[in-house]
DNA sequence: TATAAAGCCTGTAGTGACTATAGACTCAAG
DNA sequence: CTTGAGTCTATAGTCACTACAGGCTTTATA
């Protein structure tokens, strides 16, 4: 609350956020997070604000948002002119992607499940899986 | 059946299989499919066997098998010493991957669905999505 | 005090599975 | 004879990291 100017080296930030050192530097180069101050030795000096931003990015990434979308969400979080609609637009887009991917994977799962079911799993060379992969349905 | 030695240029093969020209060349360089014969002009000449192999690869890729696993499946398809068990081992591995990914995506879906649900999607800056992303749960 | 270990720096290359481009050659049609 | 389509090679770009190599600085130990 007061003027506690706590600053952290990259290693401490990595430990606090669970984002790897290399990834933090990568985010900086990719323009996702702003470059922090530097000490006399050239070391990056992060403030608590940086740590919070990195946590924001981490949560976005855990939801599968691209770095582009993550950057957009981050600037919306900063902007005073943002509208709730803009934010939910990005979220909806991601939700649709996720649902499409689930549908894809469920199709794959069905086929693979059947493969495993019909396969005798023995030591003979005859295999229904190979047959299925070898000719069109 | 007879000695019909039909040969195709890469463009024809791409059209027949639905695998893009560049991808076919990439598969060759990556060692997934064997290099075909070449005509006097240097053009690749594919046999029907090549076409079938490419279709095999395509089906594997549609099930999400890695190129490594696809290569393994392809050589198992060729091998006389293969066992059904080896094949189903690879399929089971992929099935587990697919199920793990579905589980991941379902978690994301749940969160995103809730985001969209609780978001008023209006023109105000207050947004529960931004709030949720900004602080830890 | 010397030195070693740990941490930080930059820059570059590798990952997977393509996709795209540049520049050159060949081939068929008008 | 020229145009356009098809093919060739080699290289770079994509995404989101990850892993070096080689060189600083800082901290801990002998």
Pairing of strands A44-45, B37-38: unpaired
Nucleotide C24 C1' to residue B12 CA (A): 22
Distance in angstroms: CA B60, C1' D10: 29
* Structure confidence at residue A126 (pLDDT): 87
- Say if strands B44-45 and B37-38 run parallel, antiparallel, or are unpaired: antiparallel
Contact criterion met (CB < 8 Å) for A88 and B115:
yes
Distances in whole angstroms, Cα of residue B45 to Cα of each of A35, B3, B37: 54, 17, 5
Which residue out of B87, B103, B116, B126 would a mutagenesis test of the A interface target, given it has the greatest number of A Cβ atoms within 10 Å? B87
Q: What is the pLDDT of residue A5?
A: 62
Name the minimum distance, in Å, from the CA of B41 to any CA of chain A.
32
Spatial contact of A33 and A50, defined as CB atoms under 8 Å apart: yes
**At residue A137, does pLDDT exceed 60?**
no
Confidence of residue A58 (pLDDT cuts 50, 70, 90): very high
Q: Which of A53-57, A97-101, B76-80 bottoms out in mean pLDDT, i.e. has the lowest?
A: B76-80
pLDDT of residue B85: 92
Q: Is B99 on the interface with A (CB under 8 A)?
A: yes
Residue B106 contacts A where some CB pair is shorter than 8 Å: yes
Minimum Cα–Cα distance from B94: chain A residue = A112
Distance CA A41, CA A35 (A): 16
Residue with tokens 């890695």, as numbered in its chain: B66
Straight-line distance from CA B113 to C1' C13, in Å?
40
Distance from C-alpha of A123 to C-alpha of B32, rounded to nearest angstrom: 25
The gap between A26 CA and C18 C1' (Å) is 23
What is residue A6's predicted lDDT score, i.e. its pLDDT?
A: 86
Q: What is the pLDDT of residues B71-102, one digit of tens each?
A: 999 999 999 999 999 999 999 999 999 999 99
- Nucleic strand C within 7 A of Cβ B39: yes
Q: How confident is the model at residue A47 (pLDDT cuts 50, 70, 90)?
A: very high
3-state helix, strand, coil in chain B (%, to 5): 65, 5, 35
Chain A residues in contact with B65 by the CB 8 A cut-off are none
Q: Label residue B126 by pLDDT band (50, 70, 90).
A: confident
Residue B10: what pLDDT?
97
CA distance B2 to A118: 35
pLDDT band of residue B5 (cuts 50, 70, 90) is low
Q: Using alpha carbons only, give the angle B61, B63, B66 rounded to the nearest 5 degrees.
A: 50
Please report the pLDDT score of residue A26 as a whole number. 97
Place of tokens 């003027």: A3
Contact B125 A91 (CB under 8 A): no
Given an 8 Å threshold on Cβ–Cβ distance, is A85 in contact with B111? no
Q: Which residue of B has its CA nearest to A137?
A: B59
pTM of the model as a whole = 0.89
- The confidence band for B43, taking pLDDT boundaries of 50, 70 and 90, is very high
Q: Which among B86, B80, B81, B84 is positioned nearest to A120, based on CA atoms?
A: B84
Tell me the nt nearest to B44, Cα to C1'.
D7
Predicted local confidence at residue B134, as pLDDT: 94
CB contact under 8 A, B108 and A98: yes
């Amino acid at each position: 609350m007061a003027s506690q100017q706590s600053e952290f080296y990259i290693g401490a930030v990595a430990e606090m956020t669970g984002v790897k050192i290399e990834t933090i530097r990568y985010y900086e180069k990719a323009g996702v997070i702003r470059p922090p101050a530097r000490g006399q030795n050239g070391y990056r000096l992060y403030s608590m604000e940086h740590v919070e931003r990195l946590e924001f990015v981490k949560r976005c990434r855990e939801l599968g948002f691209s770095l582009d979308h993550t950057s957009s969400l981050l600037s919306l979080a900063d902007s005073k002119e943002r509208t709730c609609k803009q934010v939910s637009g990005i979220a909806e887009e991601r939700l649709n992607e996720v649902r499409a991917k689930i549908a894809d994977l469920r199709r794959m799962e069905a086929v693979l499940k059947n493969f495993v079911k019909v396969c005798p799993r023995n030591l003979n060379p005859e295999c229904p899986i190979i047959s299925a992969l070898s000719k069109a349905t």
